[in-house]
Amino acid sequence: MNMDLRHADVILRADSISRSFVDKQGVPHQVLHNVSINVRISEICCMLGPNGAGKTTFIKIASTLLCPDSGSLSICDIDAIKDPIGARKHVALLLGGDRGFYMRSSAIANLYFFAQLADVPLHEMDNRITAALDKVNLLDKANSNVETYSRGMIQRLHIARAIIEQAPLLLLDEPTIGLDPEHAMQIRGIIDDLRNEGKGILLTTHSMSEAEALSDSVNILSKGRVIARGTISKIAEDINLDGVCIFTLPVNEWKRDESKRLLLGMKQIQGVSESLRGNQYFIDIAWKDKEPDEMTIGRVLSSPSLRFVGRRPPTLEEVYLSIMEKR
């Protein structure tokens, strides 16, 4: 994506956001610890982390549904803590899932209802709803009841609901969860289009390939703290993950658990994964400081047939797992 002056404009600025909850026994639990995240115009910022890391809590705070215990939050230069109603006009939230609509009403009736709640001007309502349904490829199903929709269609309808507000900031919480590959690809295409139209997007997902394909920047959360941020290449550089070497060896020379244990025992090796193709394993070895050579790896694995195939930059999944394995 080409950079321009607009890309420097921060539309979501969260500084040192903290939030705790009290459980049924009256015990407080800190969910977010001084989390700072910025989102810019024409940018997709991905927030990653395991379940319970605090991603959805942060999304709810960023949407003004929750108030933080401390920290500051601004949306389009509006103080979202002092003026949540004013800030809310500039943000659209997608939580997704099978609920959130009146299932026995048509898609278009649902969107008219939510357009009214969002204070969409009456004279713009028809055009906005038609345009939103067209963008998510549901215009031909506009008059069908939502209960007849597949899960993928409902997810697209959630996006249409967010689009009609024409907010510059979109908060998308796992928009492709539970979808088959075809529907997930459709959703990713729509999200990419919205970024190219100038929207700033904060996206949570458990799909590393999705985050890698869409993200301009990444924030990795663990136990309510941001433990890594930046582009994939920057994070890889920060953790000294220098690259990935690819080797092949015959099926009978790869002993899986034992072979991985031997490789991970080498100081410079940060991660190992394998994939079976025909009668050979392709072994991806993530490394830092010193690139492992064919002779050394062959000796460690006692594999006379090991062959070096090539090298590549680490993927987001390899970067993420390398960070998490050290937690």
The ranges assigned to domains in the chain are: 5-236, 239-324
The closest of 38, 91, 46, 53 to 214, measured between CA atoms, is: 46
Hey, what CATH topology would domain 239-324 get? Alpha-Beta Plaits (3.30.70)
What predicted TM-score, i.e. pTM, was given to this entire model?
Answer: 0.85
Please report the beta strands in the chain, taking only residues with DSSP state E, as ranges in sequence order: 10-22, 28-40, 44-48, 70-75, 78-79, 91-94, 169-173, 200-204, 217-222, 225-230, 243-250, 269-277, 280-287, 307-312
- Residue 292, classed as helix, strand or coil, is coil
φ/ψ (deg, to 5) at 213: -70, -30
pLDDT tens digits, residue range 193-223? 999 999 999 999 999 999 999 999 999 999 9
Give the CATH H-level superfamily of domain 5-236: P-loop containing nucleotide triphosphate hydrolases (3.40.50.300)
Mean pLDDT over residues 69-96, rounded?
93
DSSP class of residue 288? S
Q: CB–CB of 201/42 below 8 Å? A: no
Model confidence at 326, in pLDDT bands (50, 70, 90)?
low
pLDDT tens digits, residue range 243-295? 999 999 999 999 888 999 999 899 888 889 899 999 999 999 999 888 999 99
Beta-bridge mates of residue 54: none
Nearest-angstrom CA–CA distance, 251 and 40? 48
Q: Compute, in degrees rounded to 10, the torsion defined by CA atoms 30, 31, 35, 41.
A: -160
5-236 and 239-324 in the same fold: no
Model confidence at 91, in pLDDT bands (50, 70, 90)?
very high
